[in-house]
């Protein structure tokens, strides 16, 4: 559903990205996104990215939608105050308690490293 | 760095009320493991293992983070171990729902008239379910990276450590997974943007 005007705009943009100094292509832009959002993209590349966005509506929209998605993912985090099911299985409590008790003697280092 | 956690955890193991500890933490640990694994049964076994590891390590806990943060990491770690055992993290390539470019390397992206805020979207009661479903539709080797980085909020190098892969590998997978999610969620984002 692109109009004639859109087609011309795309053509102009393509020429600008190709011929103007200090421009990056959409594909190069793509490779910068993760580092840009991490805050680890070098200053010179940030400038290139921001310059690209001024000319490229597509990448600007894409980045905004991408960022929105990233923020939405954060909403899935399970809160540590998640209501505890009243029925923590008694056999689980017993199994854990036994296992922990049996490793109690002799005293030793915490199981190598719990973060493995 | 202020340590605002209660001191009970430095007491000897006998004085730790194991049952209380389990009852306080089982619920969210199970929800967390289940969200990552996508099923209850293996999540229960995983949480049991995580609780044993945590309780064994608790006397040596060094307060470099809060107990919950520490316990969360143990749970995440144990869940990753389970996923590995079940061969859920095998490398596949995610080619679907990736960004599109024309023959000249210019991005193809339909115009967005407006963007809803995350808050507006989350007010809708199905949004969360929709995101969860979208994430579950990705291969687990990709969704795990989004869960660790964007959901749990670990930084890229922590995610690399947790998964035992390089940071650049994390970034590649993260980008592909986020791109796919954006594409899958797009109908919802656009509809809400149009209504607001
Ligand atoms: Zn572009």
Residue B159 covered by a domain: yes
Instruction: Report if residue B122 sits inside a domain.
Output: yes
Report in angstroms the alpha-carbon separations of B5 from B52, B53, B70, B132: 21, 20, 12, 32
pLDDT score at A110: 46
Tell how far the Cα of A85 is from the centroid of ligand 1, in angstroms.
49
What percentage of chain B carries pLDDT values higher than 90? 69
Region for A18 from its dihedrals, namely left if φ exceeds 0, alpha if ψ lies in -120 to 50, beta otherwise: alpha
CATH of the domain at B114: 1.10.10.10
Assess whether pLDDT exceeds 80 at residue A65: yes
Which of A25-29, A67-71, B89-93 shows the lowest per-residue confidence on average (mean pLDDT)? Answer: B89-93
In a domain, B90, yes or no: no
**d(Cα B27, Cα B38) in Å, to the nearest integer?**
16
Q: Does residue B38 sit in the same domain as residue B124? A: no
What is the band of A113 on the pLDDT scale with cuts at 50, 70, 90? very low
Residue range B45-67: mean pLDDT, rounded? 91
- In this predicted structure, the answer to whether residue B9 has a pLDDT above a threshold of 50 is no
pLDDT of B46 higher than 70: yes
For chains A and B, what is the number of CB pairs under 8 angstroms?
A: 169
What average pLDDT does this structure show over B145-159? 96
Instruction: Identify whether B44 is part of a domain.
Output: yes
Chain B CB within 8 Å of residue A87 CB: no
Number of structural domains, chain B? 2
Nearest CB among B30, B111, B147 relative to A57 is that of B111
Q: What is the ipTM of this complex?
A: 0.86
Put simply, the answer to whether A76 touches B151 (Cβ < 8 Å) is yes
B60 within a domain of the structure (yes/no):
yes
SS3 A106: coil
Closest CA to A92 of B27, B50, B48, B43: B48
Check whether B80 has a pLDDT greater than 90: yes
For chain A, which residues make up each domain, given as ranges? 12-102
The answer as to whether B2 is a domain residue is no
How far, in Å, CA of B194 to CA of B118, rounded?
Answer: 14
Label residue A83 by pLDDT band (50, 70, 90): low
Looking at B85, B118, B153, which one is the last position of a domain? B85
The domain of B32 spans 7-85
Residues 60-79 of chain A whose Cβ lies under 8 A from any Cβ of chain B: 61-62, 64-66, 68-79
Please give the average per-residue pLDDT across A36-57, as a whole number. 94
Closest residue on chain B to A113 (Cα): B57
Same structural domain, B39 and B113? no
Whether B13 and A105 have beta carbons less than 8 Å apart is answered as: no
Taking CA atoms, what residue in B is nearest to A55? B106
Residue B1 domain flag: no
Identify the CATH number of the domain in which residue B80 sits: 1.10.1740.10
Percentage with pLDDT > 70 across chain A: 81
Same domain (yes/no): B181, B109: yes
Name the domain boundary from B37, B64, B85: B85
Chain B residue closest in CA terms to A13: B106
**Could you say which of B33, B57, B85 is where a domain stops?**
B85
The reported pLDDT for the residue numbered A111 is: 45
- Does residue B70 sit in the same domain as residue B140? no
């Amino acid at each position: 559903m692109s109009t004639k005007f859109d087609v011309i705009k795309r053509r102009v943009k393509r020429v600008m990205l190709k011929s103007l100094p200090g421009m990056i292509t959409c594909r190069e832009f793509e490779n910068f996104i993760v580092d840009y959002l991490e805050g680890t993209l070098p200053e010179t590349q940030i400038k290139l990215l921001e310059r690209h966005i001024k000319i490229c509506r597509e990448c600007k929209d894409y980045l905004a939608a991408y960022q929105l998605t990233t923020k939405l993912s954060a909403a899935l985090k399970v809160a540590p105050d998640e209501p505890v099911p009243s029925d923590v299985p008694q056999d689980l409590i017993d199994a854990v308690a036994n296992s922990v008790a049996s490793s109690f003697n002799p005293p030793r280092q915490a199981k190598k490293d719990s973060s493995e | 760095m202020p340590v605002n956690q209660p001191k009970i955890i430095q007491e000897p193991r006998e004085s730790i009320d194991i049952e209380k500890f389990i009852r306080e933490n089982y619920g969210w640990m199970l929800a967390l493991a289940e969200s990552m694994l996508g099923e209850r049964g293996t999540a229960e076994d995983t949480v049991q293992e995580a609780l044993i590891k945590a309780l064994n390590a608790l006397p040596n806990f060094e307060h470099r983070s809060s107990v919950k943060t520490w316990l969360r990491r143990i749970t995440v770690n144990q869940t990753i171990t389970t996923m590995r055992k079940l061969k859920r993290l095998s490398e596949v390539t995610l080619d679907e729902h990736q960004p599109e470019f024309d023959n000249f390397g210019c991005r193809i992206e339909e115009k967005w008239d407006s963007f809803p805020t995350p808050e507006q979207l989350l007010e809708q009661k199905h949004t969360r379910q929709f995101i969860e479903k979208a994430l579950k539709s990705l291969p687990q080797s990709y969704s795990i990276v989004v869960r660790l980085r964007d959901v749990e909020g670990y930084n890229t190098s922590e995610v690399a450590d947790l998964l035992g892969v390089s940071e650049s590998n994390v970034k590649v997978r993260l980008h592909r997974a986020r791109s796919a999610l954006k594409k899958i969620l797009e109908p919802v984002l656009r509809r809400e943007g149009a209504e607001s």
